[in-house]
Chain A
Amino acid sequence: MQIGILAVQGAFLEHEQMLSRLGASCFEIRQKSDLTRPMDGLILPGGESTAQGKLLRDLGMLRPLQEQIEKGLPVFGTCAGLLLLAKEIQNDTRRHLATMDMVAVRNAYGRQLGSFSAEAAFDGLGTIPMTFIRAPYIESVGAGVRVLAVVEDRIVAARQGNQLVTAFHPELCSDPRVHRYFLDMIRARQGVGCHAASLVFESSEKACYPC
């Protein structure tokens, strides 16, 4: 399995480290020529969505990635990645990939003093640690979108078919469950039994510490 990680700006290294712990291999996407490599899944990391969106456009990657996502490529966006995928952003005129049917709010908890960590239920995974850094949340979702986690009445994780988003940063915690959930999405698309595969991954994992 090869997972492409958008590496134009932000915390992409943390995703690479998490994937390598889970035994999945990945490569960095920094320019258009990187998109010629076979890719089973795509991760859009945290960072600044304005910087990432601008670089996606300028480097000619916006349209090709949009097409691949629309064709069903499994994609996982955290924080800025969520904003890249949002069809609507309530307090910003900029739109980027705009493939997921939801309305997001940027810097929804305010400036850095509003950043926080929490523990909350994630659909099917139990309670997981969540780190919110100048985070967005999801104001509302369309009919095809399933809400996966809610913190203080705000939607902070959701899925629409092949697209998974979190307003928080699973890559900053040592808890690998959300990433494993994404790998299961990829395997399901490839027609491999999810349960057996995730057991194999479990055994290759290193010790896991709380956030």
Chain B
Amino acid sequence: MGSNRWELNRNLAQMLKGGVIMDVTTPEQARIAETAGACAVMALERIPADIRAAGGVSRMSDPKMIKGIQNAVSIPVMAKCRIGHFAEAQILQAIEIDYIDESEVLSPADDRYHIDKTKFDVPFVCGAKDLGEALRRINEGASMIRTKGEPGTGDVVQAVRHMRLMQTEIRRLVSMAEDELFDAAKQLQAPYELVLYVHEHGKLPVVNFAAGGVATPADAALMMQLGAEGVFVGSGIFKSGNPEKRAAAIVKAVTNYQDAKMLAELSEDLGEAMVGINEQEIELLMAERGK
């Protein structure tokens, strides 16, 4: 991947800003998401809540299933590969996916190395719990970052924790003297050049979305007010009582995340939200995969 390709990939993420990216498992769901105003869809065989329920090893989806979704919609289609599984990523690139999510939601294929994403022409989005993780992923070639949150739980607490931590660490870097940045880079285990960028710009060099546990318009507005530039909604939509209505409401909530009156209207009559599990009740913390 040349620097021009990286720039083009970073640019695509900029076009997704202020939008909602929805997990879908069928062409039908993809069409519902597009009609509701999703700015992209994530094609996967099972949404995180079901992956969690089923247990076992979770892998990249069947390319045929992904192609079915590519053919069903005109918006960008993303798909997940396992952390470190560059062969899965090569397959996703071969079917011209618009974005690869090297995702902790699937079982990691490598417990030490992430994919060298600079070797690919298609863009990558990666999860992060803190600033150090985010900058390491960007250094490996990710052109978009999202919080990890805790996928498939419908519990927003971890996405909030990760977004707050990232923003706190960014503010801390901004306030530092330049000669302190070398040590900050050491502490963050991140390249100095990226640390310097954050110090100078007060933000990541790529777009940063919220993900993991977003289930309601209020959750989405919360994450936007905490500094997210857009939102991924995984299990929250198609595990709820009225997916069409909830999807459209979350899209509008992201656009008008500061208008509490509108959020109140959007939150009415959405039917049952996904049941959800509290973080204390789960045995598998996906966010701890890949650091």
Contact = CB atoms under 8 A, between A and B. Distances in A.
Interface of A: 7-14, 30-31, 46-48, 50-51, 54-55, 58-59, 79-80, 91-92, 106-107, 110-113, 115-117, 131, 133-134, 169, 172
B19 A10 contact: yes
Contacts of A110: 96
Given A8-B255, A116-B8, A51 B38 contact: yes
A173 to B, nearest CB: 10
Contact of A48 (B4, B9, B11, B40): B40
B250 to A, nearest CB: 12
B9 A112 contact: yes
A210 to B, nearest CB: 12
Considering the complex of A and B, which 10 residue pairs feature the smallest CB-CB distances, nearest first? A54-B37, A112-B98, A48-B39, A9-B18, A51-B37, A11-B14, A115-B8, A9-B19, A111-B96, A51-B39
Nearest to B73: A50
B262 A31 contact: yes
Contacts of A113: 93, 96, 121-122
Interface size class of B (residues with CB under 8 A): 35 or more
Contacts of A11: 14-15, 17
Given A10-B18, A11-B17, A133-B12, 10 more contacts: A9-B19, A9-B37, A31-B262, A47-B15, A48-B40, A48-B76, A112-B8, A131-B11, A134-B12, A172-B11
Contacts of A169: 11
B134 to A, nearest CB: 19
A112 B124 CA distance: 12
Given A48-B39, A107-B74, A8 B18 contact: yes
Contact of A111 (B14, B35, B98): B98
19 contacts: A8-B255, A10-B39, A11-B14, A11-B15, A30-B256, A46-B14, A47-B15, A47-B39, A48-B15, A50-B75, A51-B75, A58-B252, A80-B15, A112-B97, A117-B7, A131-B7, A133-B12, A134-B12, A172-B14
**Overall SS of chain A's interface:** loop
Interface in B10-32: 11-12, 14-19
- Residue of A13, A30, A59 contacting most chain B CB atoms (<10 Å): A30
B123 interface: yes
A202 B260 CA distance: 41
B220 interface: no
A51 B125 CA distance: 21
Contact of B18 (A47, A59, A107, A116): A47
B19 A47 contact: yes
